[in-house]
C-alpha cells in the first residue's frame, strides 16, 4: 500500500527514500488535528483546517513535479505556505493552535518532498507568525490575555519548528541508511547468485568433457591398468562435482529457494543405496562399518528420498573422513508422530573428536575446526551445515556430542509420511546389518536398449560438448546429428527433414541461445515443431531452472556433466514406445 501511495504521488522519483513513512505520519497528523477541531470548534472549522493541510500537500506535490530547480523550489514552497498560513490565521482569528498545526504539516511535507527547503521554511514561517500576531494584537483582538496567549503560541511554534525539523532530518537519515543497507544487501545477494551461476557454468563445462569422455573410454576393452587410471579420473571428476553441488545447495538453503520433492520410497532400499555408496569411503583404513536398523520401521514411506540420501551420505562421509581406525556405526530408529514417522539417524565414530569450544562452530558454513589435526582431509566445510539445513527443511534438526580424542555422535531427526505400515521385519533388518540385502529393483545398472531407428539432434556451441553427448548416446545405437548454433536448429525443424525424435538443446549459446531457439521452434506452428521433445542441456544448475525451462517450451533439462542414469531416463521416456 505504501509503495502504491508513493508511486501515485512521486512517480519514479527516488529523491527521498523515507518518503512513504513520512507520508503516513503526515496523513495521521492531519486526521488527528481535524478530529480535534471537529470536537472543540465544530465541523466548519474542521473542514477548513483539513482543507488547509491538503492545500499545503498539493503545493508541494505541484512544485516537486514542476521543472523548477531545487533552489527555486526551496524558496517558492515556504513563500506559498506562508501565504496559506496568513489566510488560515485570519479565518481562525489568530488561533495559536493553527500555527502549530500549519508548521507541523508543512515541515513534514517539506521533509517528504524537498528537504533543502526546510531551513528556509523555518525562517519564513516564523516571520509570518510574528507579523500575524502583531497584526491581531494591534488591530483586532487586543487585551493582555490575548497578547500573552499569542506570544506563547509564537514561542511554541518556533520551538516546535526546530524540534520537528531536527526530528524529521533524523528520521530521513535513519530511514535512508536502512534503505541503503537493504539495497546493498540485495545487490550483494544478486552478485553472489550471479557469481555462483557463472562459476557453476564455467566449471561444469570442462567437467562434462572429463567425465563424459572418461565414461565412454571405460565402456571399451582396455588393459586393466588403463581402466584403473580412467576410474581414478572419473572419480576425481565426480568429487569436483560434489564440491560444486555442496556450494550450490548451501546457497539455495541460505536464500530459502531450496525445495523438497516428496515421493514414495522403500525404506530398506534407501538404506542399502546409502550404505553401498559410502562403504567405498573406508578404503584401506582399519575401520569397521556397523549398521543397525529398527525392524519395526514402516517398509514404505513418503518424503524427499534424494535429500535423505544426501543427509545420510554427508553424515557418514564426515565420520569416515575423521576416523583413521576403529568403527563407524549407523543406527536408525523411529517413533510415530501425528500419523507420520519421525526417523532418527545416529552416526557414531571413534575418530579424532571435537573440542567442547568447537562444537558450536561445526554447523557454520565453510568451517573446519581443529585444522592442524584435519590438515590433508578433503572437504569444503559445508557438509554439516547442509545436513542441518536439510534436517530443518524436513521438520527436524541435527545435534552433536563429542569427546576430543575419543569420537563423536551426530544425530538427525526428520518427519516422513507413512505409505505402508508393514514393518521391515527381522529378516530385512538383519540383511541390512550383514550387507546382504538385495533391493527390490535388483542390483543397480543400465541396460542399453538398441534404438537404431531413433534420430536425435544435439545443439551446442562447444565442440567437445557435442562429442560428449554423441558418446553418451552411442550405446543406444541412436543416429546423432550435431550442430553448433540455435539458428541452424530452428531451420532444421522448420525444414522438417530429417525428422528427429528428440532434441538436446544447450542453454547458453552465443547469438541465439537455447531458450530463444526453443521458443522460435514452437512458433513455427506445425504439429512437428510444437510437439517435438526438447531437453535443455545446462551447466547452470541453480534453483528454479527446471521451472524456467518448462515455462519456455522445454520438456525437461539435464545438468552438465550428463549423468548416465538421468540420460537413460530421458531416452526411455521420449524415445521408447510400447
Q: Which of 141-150, 250-259, 333-342 comes out lowest in average pLDDT?
A: 141-150
What kind and span of H or E run contains 302?
strand 298-303
Q: What is the pTM of this model?
A: 0.53
Judge whether 448 lies within some domain: no
Give the pLDDT score at 219: 80
| DSSP-assigned letter for residue 169 | H
Is 60 exceeded by the pLDDT of residue 272? yes
* Most confident listed range (2-16, 129-143, 183-197, 255-269): 255-269
Final residue of a domain: which of 184, 214, 240? 184
* Most confident listed range (273-287, 512-526, 528-542): 512-526
Give the pLDDT score at 67: 63
Give the pLDDT score at 530: 94
- Does one domain contain both 323 and 277? yes
Judge whether 450 lies within some domain: no
When the pLDDT of each residue in the chain is averaged and rounded to a whole number, the result is 75
**Exposed (0-12), middle (13-18) or buried (19+): which is 27, by Cβ within 10 Å?**
middle
Q: How far apart are CA 429 and CA 292, in angstroms?
A: 7
Share of the chain above pLDDT 70, in %: 62
Give the pLDDT score at 23: 45
Judge whether 279 lies within some domain: yes
Number of neighbours of residue 469 by Cβ within 10 angstroms: 25
- Does one domain contain both 396 and 341? yes
- Does one domain contain both 305 and 368? yes
Final residue of a domain: which of 252, 279, 295? 252
When comparing pLDDT for 298 and 52, which is higher?
Answer: 298
Q: How far apart are CA 108 and CA 576, in angstroms?
A: 72
Q: Which of 233-247, 271-285, 476-490 comes out lowest in average pLDDT?
A: 233-247
By the 8 A CB rule, do 438 and 276 touch? no
Q: How far apart are CA 423 and CA 336, in angstroms?
A: 13
Rounded mean pLDDT, 140-149: 51
- Give 218's contacts (C-beta < 8 A, 6+ positions apart): 227, 230, 231, 234
**Confidence band for 405, pLDDT divided at 50, 70 and 90:** confident
Domain with residue 392: its CATH number is 3.30.565.10
Alpha helices in 380-500 (DSSP H): 383-393, 426-434, 463-473, 486-495
Judge whether 440 lies within some domain: no
* Most confident listed range (139-153, 208-222, 514-528): 514-528
Number of neighbours of residue 68 by Cβ within 10 angstroms: 15
- Does one domain contain both 480 and 555? yes
- Does one domain contain both 98 and 176? yes
By the 8 A CB rule, do 439 and 272 touch? yes
- Does one domain contain both 132 and 11? yes
Judge whether 443 lies within some domain: no
Q: From the CA atom positions of the chain, what is the Rg in Å?
A: 36
- Does one domain contain both 490 and 409? no
- Does one domain contain both 204 and 308? no
Judge whether 445 lies within some domain: no
- Does one domain contain both 280 and 429? yes
**Total domains, the chain:** 4
- Does one domain contain both 227 and 361? no
Rounded mean pLDDT, 480-495: 94
pLDDT in tens, 522-561: 999 999 999 999 999 987 765 557 778 888 999 988 988 8
- Does one domain contain both 206 and 305? no
Is 50 exceeded by the pLDDT of residue 190? yes
Is 80 exceeded by the pLDDT of residue 145? no
Cell numbers standing for residue 269? 532400499
How far lies 491's CA from each of 426, 485, 498, 506, 511, in Å? Answer: 62, 10, 11, 16, 15
What kind and span of H or E run contains 268?
helix 267-279
Is 90 exceeded by the pLDDT of residue 281? no
Final residue of a domain: which of 134, 155, 184? 184
Rounded mean pLDDT, 60-66: 59
By the 8 A CB rule, do 354 and 369 touch? yes
Q: In the chain, what are the helix, strand and coil shares in percent, each to the nearest 5?
A: 60, 15, 25
By the 8 A CB rule, do 380 and 242 touch? no
Judge whether 398 lies within some domain: yes
Judge whether 400 lies within some domain: yes
- Does one domain contain both 247 and 325? no
Domain span holding position 309? 263-434
Amino acid at each position: 500500500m505504501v509503495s502504491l501511495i508513493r508511486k501515485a504521488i512521486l512517480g519514479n522519483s527516488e529523491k527521498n527514500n523515507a518518503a512513504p513513512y513520512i507520508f503516513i505520519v503526515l496523513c495521521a497528523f492531519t486526521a488527528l488535528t481535524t478530529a480535534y477541531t471537529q470536537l472543540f470548534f465544530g465541523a466548519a472549522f474542521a473542514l477548513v483546517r483539513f482543507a488547509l493541510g491538503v492545500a499545503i500537500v498539493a503545493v508541494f506535490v505541484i512544485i516537486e513535479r514542476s521543472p523548477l530547480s531545487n533552489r527555486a523550489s526551496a524558496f517558492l514552497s515556504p513563500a506559498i505556505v506562508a501565504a496559506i498560513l496568513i489566510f488560515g490565521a485570519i479565518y481562525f482569528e489568530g488561533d495559536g493552535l493553527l500555527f502549530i498545526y500549519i508548521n507541523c504539516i508543512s515541515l513534514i511535507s517539506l521533509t517528504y518532498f524537498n528537504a533543502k527547503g526546510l531551513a528556509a521554511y523555518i525562517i519564513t514561517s516564523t516571520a509570518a507568525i510574528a507579523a500575524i500576531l502583531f497584526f491581531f494584537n494591534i488591530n483586532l483582538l487586543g487585551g493582555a490575555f490575548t497578547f500573552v496567549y499569542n506570544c506563547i503560541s509564537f514561542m511554541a511554534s518556533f520551538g516546535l519548528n526546530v524540534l520537528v525539523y531536527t526530528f524529521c532530518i533524523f528520521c530521513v537519515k535513519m530511514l535512508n541508511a536502512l534503505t541503503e543497507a537493504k539495497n546493498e544487501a540485495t545487490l550483494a545477494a544478486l552478485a553472489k547468485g550471479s557469481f555462483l551461476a557463472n562459476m557453476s557454468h564455467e566449471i561444469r563445462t570442462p567437467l562434462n568433457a572429463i567425465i563424459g569422455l572418461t565414461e565412454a573410454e571405460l565402456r571399451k576393452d582396455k588393459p586393466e591398468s588403463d581402466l584403473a587410471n580412467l576410474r581414478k579420473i572419473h572419480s576425481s571428476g565426480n568429487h569436483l562435482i560434489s564440491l560444486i553441488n555442496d556450494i550450490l545447495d548451501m546457497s539455495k538453503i541460505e536464500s530459502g529457494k531450496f525445495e523438497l520433492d516428496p515421493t514414495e520410497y522403500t525404506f530398506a532400499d534407501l538404506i542399502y543405496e546409502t550404505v553401498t555408496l559410502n562403504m567405498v569411503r573406508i578404503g584401506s583404513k582399519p575401520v569397521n562399518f556397523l549398521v543397525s536398523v529398527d525392524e519395526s520401521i514402516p517398509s514404505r514411506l513418503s518424503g524427499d528420498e534424494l535429500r535423505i540420501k544426501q543427509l545420510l551420505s554427508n553424515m557418514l562421509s564426515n565420520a569416515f573422513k575423521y576416523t583413521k581406525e576403529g568403527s563407524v556405526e549407523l543406527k536408525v530408529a523411529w517413533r510415530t508422530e501425528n500419523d507420520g514417522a519421525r526417523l532418527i539417524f545416529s552416526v557414531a565414530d571413534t575418530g579424532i573428536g571435537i573440542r567442547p569450544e568447537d562444537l558450536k562452530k561445526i554447523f557454520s558454513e565453510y568451517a573446519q575446526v581443529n585444522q592442524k589435526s584435519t590438515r590433508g582431509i578433503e572437504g569444503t566445510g559445508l557438509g554439516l551445515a547442509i545436513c542441518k539445513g536439510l534436517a530443518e527443511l524436513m521438520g527436524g534438526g541435527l545435534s552433536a556430542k563429542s569427546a576430543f580424542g575419543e569420537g563423536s555422535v551426530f544425530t538427525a531427526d526428520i518427519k516422513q509420511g507413512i505409505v505402508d505400515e508393514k514393518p521391515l521385519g527381522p529378516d530385512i533388518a538383519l540383511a541390512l546389518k550383514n550387507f546382504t540385502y538385495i533391493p527390490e529393483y535388483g542390483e543397480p545398472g543400465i541396460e542399453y536398449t538398441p534404438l537404431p531407428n531413433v534420430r536425435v539432434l544435439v545443439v551446442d556451441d562447444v565442440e567437445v560438448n557435442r562429442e560428449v553427448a554423441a558418446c553418451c548416446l552411442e550405446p543406444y545405437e541412436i543416429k546423432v546429428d550435431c550442430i553448433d548454433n540455435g539458428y541452424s536448429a530452428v531451420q532444421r525443424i522448420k525444414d522438417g527433414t530429417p525428422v528427429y525424435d528428440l532434441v538436446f538443446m544447450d542453454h547458453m549459446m552465443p547469438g541465439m541461445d537455447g531458450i530463444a531457439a526453443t521458443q522460435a521452434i514452437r512458433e513455427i506452428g506445425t504439429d512437428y515443431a510444437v510437439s517435438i521433445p526438447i531437453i535443455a542441456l545446462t551447466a547452470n544448475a541453480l534453483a528454479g531452472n527446471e521451472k524456467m525451462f518448462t515455462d519456455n517450451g522445454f520438456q525437461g533439462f539435464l545438468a552438465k556433466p550428463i549423468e548416465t542414469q538421468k540420460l537413460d531416463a530421458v531416452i526411455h521416456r521420449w524415445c521408447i514406445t510400447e
